[in-house]
Amino acid sequence: MPKIYYILNPAHWTIPEMKTTNVSNHTVVEDQNNKWIWPDAADKRSINPQTFDKLKTLFNITEIIILDRWTGKETCSVKDHVNRSGFIMLRGKTPYKTNPQFPDVSRIYSTVEGHGPVVVHTVGPENYLETDSNKVVSEMCGIVSPVWHYIGVKVNALCVPNKKTKDFISS
């Protein structure tokens, strides 16, 4: 069953209406085909190795699809990111278990077939809506993906254009 991680509360996405549960500062919705997961807040309380490891263990997550908004025109597969947000969710949280203090983050992403690969510039939720739409800008991908990668989860990330997020899930 695919595990899909929304970067923030998915008010701008269409989610199947199902029973929700709260686990480790995250909301989880499950249907027959997917498990939808999103953090309560974009902060170190929700996004950190300890919390993600609990989710990984509880839901047997070995691979995840991260959905993020971006300013491009088509849905793209993230092949790399430049974190321009000022937030690094691993800072002060490593080493964790037997993982290194300074993890290799040079190869975080696996590309998703059928979607062109792109390098995104992550600016964070506070700056996302204020950015120049001509730039390749994502909201949170470069903040969250390194944490999933750090705990050993295969990361696939898709950036969906702002105007297509409501229709993306049903397609």
Query: Please, which contacts does 122-131 make with residues 24 or more away whose CB atoms are closer than 8 Å?
Result: 122/81, 122/82, 122/83, 122/84, 122/85, 123/84, 123/85, 124/42, 124/85, 124/86, 124/87, 125/8, 125/42, 127/85, 128/69, 131/71
Confidence tier at 170 by pLDDT (50, 70, 90): very low
Instruction: Kindly tell me if the per-residue pLDDT of 57 is higher than 90.
Output: yes
The better pLDDT of the pair 6, 103 is held by 103
pLDDT given for residue 30 in this prediction: 81
Instruction: Kindly tell me if the per-residue pLDDT of 115 is higher than 80.
Output: yes
pTM of the model: 0.88
Cβ(151)–Cβ(53) below 8 Å: yes
pLDDT given for residue 128 in this prediction: 79
CATH of 3-168, one of 3.40.50.1580, 3.40.50.2300, 1.10.150.20, 3.10.20.70: 3.40.50.1580
Q: For residues 21-25, give the mean pLDDT.
A: 91
pLDDT given for residue 171 in this prediction: 47
For 146-167, how does the pLDDT look when each residue is reduced to its tens digit (9 = 90+)? 999 999 999 999 988 876 555 5
User: What residue segments make up the domains of the chain, in order of their start?
Assistant: 3-168
